[in-house]
Amino acid sequence: MNRFMYKKHIPVKRFGQNFLKNEIIIKKIVQSMNLNSFDNVIEIGPGLGALTFPICEIVDKITVLEIDENIIFFLLCHQYNKKMNIILTDVMKFDFRYFFSLKKDVLYRLVGNLPYNISVCFFLKMILYNVHIYDMHFMFQKEVAYRLLANPGSKEYGKLSVIAQFFYRITLITPVDKFNFFPKPKINSVFLRFIPYNKKYDDYSIKQNFFALELITRAAFQHRRKLLKSNLSNMFSEKLLLKLDIHSFFRAENVSVYQYSLLVRNFLESHI
């Protein structure tokens, strides 16, 4: 057998194919999701089924979105093929709006050991569909996971932390060492749970909040070492910042997610 082969498949680097191989970790991940048979699960990048097949043992149906045709063929031949709604697609181009419109009032549970090259972009893309999402469980490379979880004042705290924590309650489920994948990546990973703060928003207000927050955090963190009042001088008066307890010596990293949410509210009130 070719030494680069894994379960008769040659991992494709450009698709970020690092397959989970440790059964103990896989079990821990699947158990952490607390799945029910009736759950509507969508898996991003099922690969050779490391998570998919244990999930199939619990749920009645799972939708899997996969870009690699060889993997699609492998899945179609598997004993669980009747449980899987298998879709050949690039998730970055997949029409989630249409997909979610097919079944009204259904909340989906997303899971994925995301390919590193698209993980952040895909995560940000899904925020706009939060009203259709019950929860998401994703594997991120460690450095990205720590940015998602970071607290104000830390060096990891930045635009991504604020946006993620504004929309989700995030829980660290387990660190996953690089030795648990084939082929072994250069970096360790962390598996996280995201629960959307959906009650606060409808579809339209998610979009408004997302774009306002994007604008504000981009300006705020663009020059990290500068004072926030100068980074945001085109958007907010110093008087307003002080009213929100954002002091004149603050930098972007000193401002809490709650304070950013007050800035978003103020921005939307004065622009709409």
Annotated binding site, which residues?
Answer: 18, 20, 45, 66, 90, 113
Q: Find the shortest distance in angstroms from Cβ 254 to ligand SAM.
A: 36
Contact with ligand SAM (CB under 6 A) among 23, 57, 90, 245: 90
Q: Find the shortest distance in angstroms from Cβ 57 to ligand SAM.
A: 16
Tokens at 33, concatenated? 């999701």
Q: Quick check: 47 binds ligand SAM (CB under 6 A)?
A: yes
By C-beta, is 190 or 220 nearer to ligand SAM?
A: 190
Q: Quick check: 46 binds ligand SAM (CB under 6 A)?
A: yes
Q: Quick check: 80 binds ligand SAM (CB under 6 A)?
A: no
In 3D space, the residue among 102, 108, 74 whose CA is nearest the CA of residue 88 turns out to be 74
Give the count of beta carbons closer than 10 Å to the beta carbon of residue 62: 25
Contact with ligand SAM (CB under 6 A) among 62, 65, 192, 252: 65
Gap between the terminal Cα atoms of the chain: 63
Contact with ligand SAM (CB under 6 A) among 6, 20, 147, 189: 20
Give the count of beta carbons closer than 10 Å to the beta carbon of residue 102: 7
Q: Quick check: 266 binds ligand SAM (CB under 6 A)?
A: no
Q: Quick check: 62 binds ligand SAM (CB under 6 A)?
A: no
Q: Find the shortest distance in angstroms from Cβ 32 to ligand SAM.
A: 14
Q: How far is residue 229's CA from residue 51's CA, in Å, rounded to a whole number?
A: 47
DSSP summary character for residue 255: S
Contact with ligand SAM (CB under 6 A) among 25, 41, 51, 176: 51
Q: How far is CA 124 from CA 14, 166, 213, in A?
A: 21, 12, 12
Q: Find the shortest distance in angstroms from Cβ 226 to ligand SAM.
A: 36
Instruction: Give the Cα-Cα-Cα angle 116, 131, 148 (nearest 5 degrees).
Output: 35
Between helix 159-167 and helix 257-271 the angle, nearest 10°, is 80
In 3D space, the residue among 133, 132, 124 whose CA is nearest the CA of residue 166 turns out to be 124
Q: How far is residue 90's CA from residue 191's CA, in Å, rounded to a whole number?
A: 22
Q: Quick check: 45 binds ligand SAM (CB under 6 A)?
A: yes
Tokens at 28, concatenated? 């821990």
Q: Quick check: 118 binds ligand SAM (CB under 6 A)?
A: yes
Contact with ligand SAM (CB under 6 A) among 35, 42, 56, 71: 71
By C-beta, is 67 or 148 nearer to ligand SAM?
A: 67
Contact with ligand SAM (CB under 6 A) among 5, 76, 92, 106: 92
Q: Quick check: 16 binds ligand SAM (CB under 6 A)?
A: yes
Tokens at 204, concatenated? 């339209």
Closest chain position to ligand SAM (CB): 45
Cα 81 to chain centroid distance, Å, stands at 26
